[in-house]
Amino acid sequence: MPMPKPALLLIPLAALGVALALPARATAPLPEPPAMPAPADARPQVAVLAGGCFWGMEGLFEHVRGVISVRAGYAGGRAETANYPAVGTETTGHAESIRITFDPRRISYGQLLKIYFAVAHDPTQLNRQTPDEGPSYRSAIFPQNPAQRQVASAYIAMLNQAHVFARPIATRIENGTFYPAEDYHQHFMQRNPRHPYILAWDVAKLAKLKAAYPQFYREGWS
């Protein structure tokens, strides 16, 4: 069974409602992200993102059109510490992350970043996300090639310059290998839709995706 999220234990069960699910959001519509060169072929591409608990991040992007698959895992630390108990000590350098395999003909890397900033998490929170605190819950992008790094850097600069958020963006652009998490973390939202943590912090994000970006939302799971 999954280990409990410690911060959740501080929340009365009566308070676990959808109304609590969304942290501070953008005060203005997000601009379109910079465009990447068209892919030379139709091969799937990979994006690695961190933005709080990987349960909700994974579940959200599993509902995005053009996403082929999503894996929960760890990035930013060493292979020998890429496990849930070690990462939970907040000393390994890892961030709870997701690896998204996507079809660039159907959704671009920049569009994935737009969903990441607008819906998936609050990019202005430093080393925390909703009830979870510590560097393993930081907002971070792990580019998989120079083009992704350029797009991510340019988009963060655009968002800050446009003052889309009330506070500066805390998202870091980092290097790091992605390591898959334990099997019991994979597809957690899909397998545990009534889990108290999912109900409190993640269900409303799916509703936000569907309402704000219907062109990217799909009902089924990837």
pLDDT of residue 4: 56
**Burial of 41 from C-beta contacts in 10 A (0-12 / 13-18 / 19+):** exposed
Superfamily of domain 41-205: Peptide methionine sulphoxide reductase MsrA (3.30.1060.10)
Delimit the domains of the chain by residue range. Answer: 41-205
pLDDT of residue 219: 92
d(CA 177, CA 195): 29
Catalytic entry in 53, 57, 87, 151: 53
Q: What is the pLDDT along the chain (222 residues), one digit of tens a residue?
A: 345 554 444 343 334 343 444 455 677 789 999 887 767 777 999 999 999 999 999 999 999 999 999 999 999 999 999 999 999 999 999 999 999 999 999 999 999 999 999 999 999 999 999 899 999 999 999 999 999 999 999 999 999 999 999 999 999 999 999 999 999 999 999 999 999 999 999 999 999 999 999 999 999 888
Q: Where are the alpha helices (DSSP H) in 62-178?
A: 84-87, 109-115, 146-161
Tokens of 198: 């999912």
pLDDT of residue 210: 96
Active site residue 178: no
Decide if 177 contacts 81 (C-beta within 8 A): no
pLDDT of residue 17: 41
pLDDT of residue 26: 77
β-pair partners for 180:
73
Q: What is residue 217's DSSP assignment?
A: B
pLDDT of residue 1: 36
pLDDT of residue 23: 53
